[in-house]
């Protein structure tokens, strides 16, 4: 996969007012697919349910929606395993289904996810 890394401070040699806070950019091919041990960058959806215990960690509600909504996540597992994912998550975690469905609506996947969570 072809990619380019860029740090905003690289512009400092050309600027009169230097950039104090560095930002990293990674640019990848439009249809890049990952290989073993790679890093995939995805857009973070606004108003995602935040993990209150682990900063920068994904919440169980976001994970359960994103495994359905995110195209690249769907390449990780067989579609017939989605029910198993939801059953195991329900057994292992305290899931806030109100937060989950709010985020699912934001992602346009509420109807599909409702059939995985059943009656709650």
pTM for this predicted structure? 0.75
Question: How remote is the C-alpha of 98 from its chain's centroid?
Answer: 19
Question: How remote is the C-alpha of 92 from its chain's centroid?
Answer: 21
Q: What is the DSSP string of the chain?
A: --EEEEEGGGGGGG-SS---S--EEEEE-TT----TT-----PPPTTPPBPSSSTTPBPHHHHHHHHHH-TTGGGSS-GGGHHHHHHHHHHHS---HHHHHHHHHHTT-HHHHHHHH---
Mean pLDDT highest for which of 1-10, 23-32, 50-59, 92-101?
Answer: 92-101
Q: What backbone torsions phi and psi does residue 3 show, to the nearest 5 degrees?
A: -150, 160
Q: Which residue has the higher pLDDT, 80 or 27?
A: 80
39 pLDDT higher than 80: no
Percent of the chain whose pLDDT exceeds 90: 42
Tokens 């996540």 sit at which residue? 73
User: How confident is the model over 49-101, as pLDDT tens digits?
Assistant: 999 888 889 999 999 999 999 888 887 888 889 998 999 999 999 999 999 99
Token pair in block for residue 86: 């939801």
Sign (positive/negative) of CA torsion 94, 98, 103, 109? positive
């Amino acid at each position: 996969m072809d990619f380019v890394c860029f740090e905003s401070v690289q512009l400092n040699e050309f600027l009169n007012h230097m950039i104090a806070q560095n930002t990293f950019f990674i640019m990848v091919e439009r249809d890049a697919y990952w290989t073993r041990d790679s890093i995939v960058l995805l857009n973070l959806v606004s108003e995602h349910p935040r993990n209150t215990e682990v900063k920068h960690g994904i919440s169980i509600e976001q994970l359960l929606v994103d495994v359905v909504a995110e195209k690249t996540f769907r390449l990780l597992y067989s579609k017939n395993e989605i029910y198993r994912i939801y059953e195991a998550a329900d057994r292992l975690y305290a899931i806030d289904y109100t937060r989950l469905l709010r985020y699912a609506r934001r992602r346009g996947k509420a109807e599909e996810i409702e059939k995985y969570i059943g009656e709650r």
